[in-house]
């Protein structure tokens, strides 16, 4: 059935995970249903003089701080609305602008939660509970996030909280054997404190005999750049020099579109996610690495614990370069280990593909729309 899907989120050209997520979900939802379109309300921190953008498949409007009535008016012209929620993207105290939009929506609403904190501030807790209260369905991208939500927050209808994984683009299956000459360790994503890259750098000294290339790819996060410039990247360069491993680290600050990113990931022998946070219940980078069939070494953040449980990677403690080095050495040298991890990761790829993920959103949307028709009649 032809539908108009509404989205409230950041959106390209904004460079952040939510923007990329929304663009991918919109594209695959509309392509799977010929004639369907998307209407995006792009959340901005300040006024933007770009005009409304219209193509055959989508129309993009802009929401500046306080413009909740205008945003709701746009979204009420859709059949159903998908709202991305993350602390820090909506204006107002704890992002309260989103509540002004949700309160005015008259169509079914799917709320997608990108963060569920174990120890929120009182304001953050109240905000998330209000947001969830407006939802016809809530999507988390891991079982860990779902469990944390229903156990730790006041959720009136826990049965309406469903798990749909983060999507990933298909990537050519990798060669199983690590590179014979200078194996590639890859960390990618928007750069900022909390990525734990310093621990990956600290681990390299234990791997010098393998002559690895540790590629740190990605631009500095725009908010980090505005606040402190390239200070974090500079600190990482200084750390590499201080540990005597500058020749093993390559900083690649380019922003890559999907095809170029897939090519980069395809060159990696192992993906390293040395994140500091124990709160992270969603990692798009982790999903993309597994969908590409790459062995992963990750710290024990919840999404990694969940997705790597069946052998797609190795888990290490947070902030532990010795453990990181040992895990990387195993992946790069232990016969058959990288191949087994790649096989396990590749088996997850069909479930994690954007086409599969979009199909699940489509089926959820149709269920909500059918329920709304039954109630109104």
25, 82, 335, 349 from 172: Cα distances, Å:
21, 30, 23, 11
Listed by start position, the domains of the chain span: 4-167+353-376, 184-352
For 95, phi and psi rounded to 5 degrees? 80, 35
* Predicted confidence band of residue 15 (pLDDT cuts 50, 70, 90): confident
For 270-296, what is the mean pLDDT?
A: 94
The percent of residues above 70 in pLDDT, for the chain, comes to 93
Q: How many CA atoms lie within 13 A of 258 on its CB side?
A: 15
Instruction: Please state, in angstroms and rounded to a whole number, the distance separating the CA atoms of residues 360 and 162.
Output: 10
Q: How confident is the model at residue 56 (pLDDT cuts 50, 70, 90)?
A: low
- CA-CA-CA-CA torsion for 11, 14, 20, 22, nearest 10 degrees? -10
Reply yes or no on whether the pLDDT at 176 is more than 90: no
Whether the pLDDT of residue 177 is over 60: the answer is no
Same fold, 4-167+353-376 and 184-352: yes
**E-only strand ranges, the chain:** 4-9, 37-43, 53-54, 58-63, 80-85, 109-113, 137-140, 161-163, 184-188, 213-217, 249-252, 270-273, 296-299, 313-316
Token pair 């079914």: residue? 108
Which CA distances in Å does 217 have to 63, 157, 188? 31, 41, 5
The pLDDT value recorded for residue 255 is: 80
Whether the per-residue pLDDT at 51 is higher than 60: the answer is no
**pLDDT value of residue 50:** 61
pLDDT, tens digit, for every residue of 117-165?
999 999 999 999 999 999 999 999 999 999 999 999 999 999 999 999 9
3-state secondary structure of 116: coil
Is residue 178 predicted with pLDDT exceeding 60?
no
CA distance 223 to 226: 5
Residue 241 pLDDT: 97
For the entire predicted model, the pTM comes to: 0.91
Check if CATH label 3.30.360.10 holds for domain 4-167+353-376. no
Q: What is the dihedral of CA 130, 146, 153, 105, to 10 degrees?
A: 10
Considering the four listed CATH numbers 3.40.50.2000, 3.40.640.10, 3.30.420.40, 2.30.110.10, the one that applies to the domain covering 184-352 is 3.40.50.2000
What is the pLDDT, as a whole number, of residue 223? 82
Between 11 and 258, where is the model more confident? 11
């Amino acid at each position: 059935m032809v539908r108009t899907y509404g989205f409230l989120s950041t959106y390209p050209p904004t460079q952040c995970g939510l923007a990329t997520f929304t663009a991918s979900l919109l594209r695959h939802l509309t392509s799977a249903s010929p004639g369907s379109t998307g209407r995006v309300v792009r959340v901005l921190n300040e006024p933007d003089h770009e005009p409304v953008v219209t193509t055959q498949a989508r129309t993009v409007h802009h929401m500046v701080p306080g413009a909740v009535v205008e945003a709701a008016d746009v979204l009420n012209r859709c059949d159903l609305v998908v709202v991305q929620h993350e602390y820090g993207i909506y204006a107002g105290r704890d992002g309260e602008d989103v509540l002004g939009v949700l309160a005015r929506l008259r169509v079914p609403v799917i709320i997608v939660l990108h963060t569920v904190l174990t120890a929120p501030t009182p304001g953050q807790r109240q905000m998330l509970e209000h947001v969830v209260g407006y939802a016809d369905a809530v999507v988390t991208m891991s079982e860990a996030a779902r469990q944390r939500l229903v156990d730790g927050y006041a959720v009136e209808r826990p049965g309406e909280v469903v798990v749909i994984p983060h999507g990933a683009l298909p990537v050519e299956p990798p060669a199983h054997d690590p590179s014979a000459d200078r194996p590639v360790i890859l960390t990618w994503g928007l750069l900022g404190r909390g990525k734990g890259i310093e621990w990956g750098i600290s681990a390299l000294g234990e791997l010098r005999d393998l002559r690895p290339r540790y590629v740190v790819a990605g631009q500095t996060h725009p908010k980090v750049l505005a606040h402190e410039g390239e200070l974090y990247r500079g600190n990482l360069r200084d750390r590499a020099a201080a540990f005597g491993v500058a020749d093993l680290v390559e900083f690649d600050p380019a922003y890559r579109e999907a095809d170029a990113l897939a090519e980069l990931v395809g060159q990696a022998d192992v993906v390293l996610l040395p994140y500091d946070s124990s709160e992270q219940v969603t990692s798009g980078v982790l999903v993309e690495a597994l969908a590409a069939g790459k062995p992963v070494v990750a710290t024990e953040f919840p999404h990694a614990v969940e997705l790597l449980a069946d052998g797609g990677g190795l888990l290490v403690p947070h902030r532990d370069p010795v453990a990181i080095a040992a895990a990387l050495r195993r992946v790069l040298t232990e016969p058959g280990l990288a191949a087994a991890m790649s096989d396990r990761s590749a088996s997850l790829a069909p479930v994690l593909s954007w086409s599969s993920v979009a199909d699940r959103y489509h089926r959820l949307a149709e269920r909500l729309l059918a329920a709304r028709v039954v109630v109104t009649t």
